[in-house]
């Protein structure tokens, strides 16, 4: 979760007043199912500047977050007879469950320190794959250069890559890696949202499908909801144009860096043998305990930690194959003092459960 208390209320209110003062009657009617042209135009500029996409307003579809992007893609793929889809393992449990809900069969493909193992993807024979290449969830790794090349070669041979640009805005110690989409726009469906930059409750995101899927996605979007609510789209367009969104992201990034550092320091002090991943970016860390593999149940550990007042996800909740026990720890919504105390309580639970 992001820090919801950091939502830019004053900037949003200013933008909303400006939008209401300028909006025409037509702006409030049934609009283009692709979304407001104003927002799509601003998003095209924003994505070009921040993520390196080469796109235009005509190619972007405004959606209710990445969840709706996945739902629309799943419906279209199933209608075309494609029912198997590769997912990262470990990977997002929520994405896995949503794909199942829409009638697809997720095929787990292993992730290692270089990201998705593309050779395993090729062997799986699936026609499409969902990835988080800029910041893999939950491991935090970035898809390595050789893997990127191999993935693009797989896509060029007929595969569809669904690129969830998860947490791409929040890199703390190095420049963000460019999105995959620019390298193969004809084979990549690119999805992003403001769920981590503003708030998940805004339900605003974007999807840039390849041209051969665009008309079907627009039709599915129209059938689903007739279009995304108009006013929030116009407000977001105003925030982008005024530079307020970028200003907000810079402020939040600095705050989150301090919180990450506090949790990292606490874990290194109290759990010095743990392996910590995902440090350079995002809203969470992954803590694995390789020395306790086979001797510690991370679901039991997560339960014990919750009883101690700290909410954590067991790594096993997010994967299909067996592996070292681990914990997914979000830090963005907590103060440095709270995070240091959380690290101490987590370490105590680990020590209490260790054989």
Q: Is residue 3 part of a domain?
A: no
CB 223 within 8 A of CB 29: no
Q: Is residue 32 part of a domain?
A: yes
Residue labelled with tokens 């460019």: 178
Are residues 60 and 209 part of one domain?
Answer: yes
Say which CATH number the domain at 327 has. 3.90.1150.10
Structure tokens at 53: 């996409």
Taking residue 4's Cβ as centre, other Cβ atoms within 10 Å add up to 12
- Number of folded domains in the chain? 2
Are residues 205 and 177 part of one domain?
Answer: yes
> Order of strands across the sheet with 284-288?
275-277, 284-288, 326-330, 313-314
CB 263 within 8 A of CB 343: yes
Question: Distance between CA 216 and CA 149 in Å, rounded?
Answer: 28
Give the C-alpha distances (Å, rounded to integers) separating 208 from 162, 178, 181, 195. 10, 15, 9, 17
Q: Is residue 291 part of a domain?
A: yes
CB 2 within 8 A of CB 196: yes
| Of the residues 242, 267, 283, the one at which a domain ends | 242
Q: What is the DSSP letter of 240?
A: H
| Of the residues 223, 242, 261, the one at which a domain ends | 242
H or E, element range at 209? none
Positive or negative, the CA dihedral 53, 95, 89, 293 is: positive
Pure H helices in 193-327: 211-225, 230-242, 244-270, 298-307
Q: Coil, strand or helix: which one is 171? A: strand
In terms of phi and psi (left: phi > 0; alpha: psi -120 to 50; beta: otherwise), the region of 278 is left
| Of the residues 193, 215, 242, the one at which a domain ends | 242
Positive or negative, the CA dihedral 287, 94, 339, 354 is: negative
CB 273 within 8 A of CB 128: no
pLDDT value of position 355: 63
Question: Distance between CA 24 and CA 187 in Å, rounded?
Answer: 37
Q: Coil, strand or helix: which one is 162? A: strand
Are residues 225 and 90 part of one domain?
Answer: yes
Q: Coil, strand or helix: which one is 353? A: helix
What are the pLDDT tens digits along the chain (355 aa)?
A: 899 999 999 999 999 999 999 999 999 999 999 999 999 999 999 999 999 999 999 999 999 999 999 999 999 999 999 999 999 999 999 999 999 999 999 999 999 999 999 999 999 999 999 999 999 999 999 999 999 999 999 999 999 999 999 877 888 877 778 899 999 999 999 999 999 999 999 999 999 999 999 999 999 999 999 999 999 999 999 999 999 999 999 999 999 999 999 999 999 999 999 999 998 888 999 999 887 777 778 999 999 999 999 999 999 999 988 888 899 999 999 999 999 999 999 999 998 877 6
CB 206 within 8 A of CB 294: no
Structure tokens at 75: 């419906």
First to last CA, the chain: 33
Say which CATH number the domain at 171 has. 3.40.640.10
Are residues 213 and 64 part of one domain?
Answer: yes
Question: Distance between CA 120 and CA 106 in Å, rounded?
Answer: 14
In degrees, to the nearest 5, what angle opens at C-alpha 39 toward C-alphas 37 and 44? Answer: 95
Give the C-alpha distances (Å, rounded to integers) separating 260 from 3, 83, 283. 13, 39, 8
Are residues 343 and 215 part of one domain?
Answer: no
Expressed as residue numbers, the domain containing 336 is 247-353
């Amino acid at each position: 979760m992001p820090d919801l208390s950091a939502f830019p209320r004053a900037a949003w209110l200013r933008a909303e007043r400006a939008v209401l003062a300028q909006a025409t009657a037509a702006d409030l009617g049934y609009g283009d199912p692709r979304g407001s042209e104003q927002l799509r135009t601003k998003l095209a500029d924003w994505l070009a500047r921040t993520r390196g996409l080469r796109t235009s307003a005509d190619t972007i579809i405004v959606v209710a977050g990445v969840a709706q992007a996945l739902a629309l893609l799943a419906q279209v793929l199933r209608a075309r007879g494609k029912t198997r889809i590769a997912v990262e393992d470990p990977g997002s449990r929520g994405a896995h469950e949503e794909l199942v809900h829409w009638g697809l069969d997720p095929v787990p493909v292993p992730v290692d320190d270089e990201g998705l193992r593309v050779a395993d993807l090729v062997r799986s024979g699936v026609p499409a794959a969902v990835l988080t290449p800029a910041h893999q969830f939950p491991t935090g790794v970035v898809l390595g250069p050789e893997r990127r090349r191999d993935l693009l070669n797989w896509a060029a041979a007929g595969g569809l890559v669904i690129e969830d640009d998860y947490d791409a805005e929040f890199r703390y110690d190095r420049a963000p890696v460019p999105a995959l989409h620019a390298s193969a726009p004809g084979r990549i469906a690119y999805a992003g949202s403001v769920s981590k930059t503003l708030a998940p409750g805004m339900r605003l995101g974007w999807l840039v499908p390849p041209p051969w899927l665009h008309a079907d996605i627009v039709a599915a979007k129209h059938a689903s909801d007739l279009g995304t609510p108009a006013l929030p789209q116009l407000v977001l367009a105003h925030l982008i144009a005024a530079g307020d969104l970028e200003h907000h992201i810079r402020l939040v990034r600095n705050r989150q860096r301090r919180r990450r550092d506090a949790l990292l320091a606490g874990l290194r002090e109290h759990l010095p043998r743990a392996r910590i991943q995902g440090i350079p970016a995002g809203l969470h860390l992954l803590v694995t305990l390789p020395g306790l593999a086979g001797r510690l149940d991370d679901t039991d550990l997560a339960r014990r930690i919750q009883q101690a007042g700290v909410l954590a996800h067991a790594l096993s909740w997010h994967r299909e194959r067996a592996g070292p026990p681990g914990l997914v720890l979000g830090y963005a919504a907590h103060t440095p003092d709270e995070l240091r105390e959380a690290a101490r309580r987590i370490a105590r639970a680990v020590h209490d459960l260790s054989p």
